[in-house]
Structure 1
Amino acid sequence: MMTRMTCPHVSDLPESVAPDNPAGCADCLAAGEHNWAHLRICLSCGHVACCDSSPRRHATAHFHASEHPVMRSFEPGEDWRWCYLDSRIV
């Protein structure tokens, strides 16, 4: 069994969040775009945004605008989380 390392920011997260747009990157869709590589969900507020391999990098932009530190992959079968403040998987 693999033990996942964590960071202090995980303990500040709500128990669960609902995705604000389960259909895709909320920011891309609002701009009429559908061009993203992978999706991420903010674990503070549920904002769904595209990853840094996508042209607009909305997940990182959301972190800079909101200062919400931890996101999770929103891809089927993936459950890893990333802390922007600690620059590591948690």
Structure 2
Amino acid sequence: MWIYFILVNSVGLIAMAIDKAHAKKQARRIPEKKLWGLGFIGGSLGLYTGMYLFRHKTRKQLFVIGLPVLIIVQTVIGLFIYRLL
């Protein structure tokens, strides 16, 4: 499970870096739906870290508010599942 968590969050961080680089070059971007999909499957912490590390999507309220909320929800669910096991 930890390997999955590290892998999906690494992909989220890299996705933010790629999208920022493409934004600078006016190249084809990663759709926000795909970024959110990555967040929902567990990559929200990587996306959030990349958002501030690369200063990308920091003006989008949906990302600024939504990613921390998603991180909290996923943490609560994870702790609940951990206690059940």
With the shorter chain as reference, the TM-score category is under 0.3
Compute the TM-score of the two structures, normalised by the length of structure 1.
0.27
Compute the TM-score of the two structures, normalised by the length of structure 2.
0.28
> Which structure is higher in helix share?
2
Higher radius of gyration, 1 or 2: 2
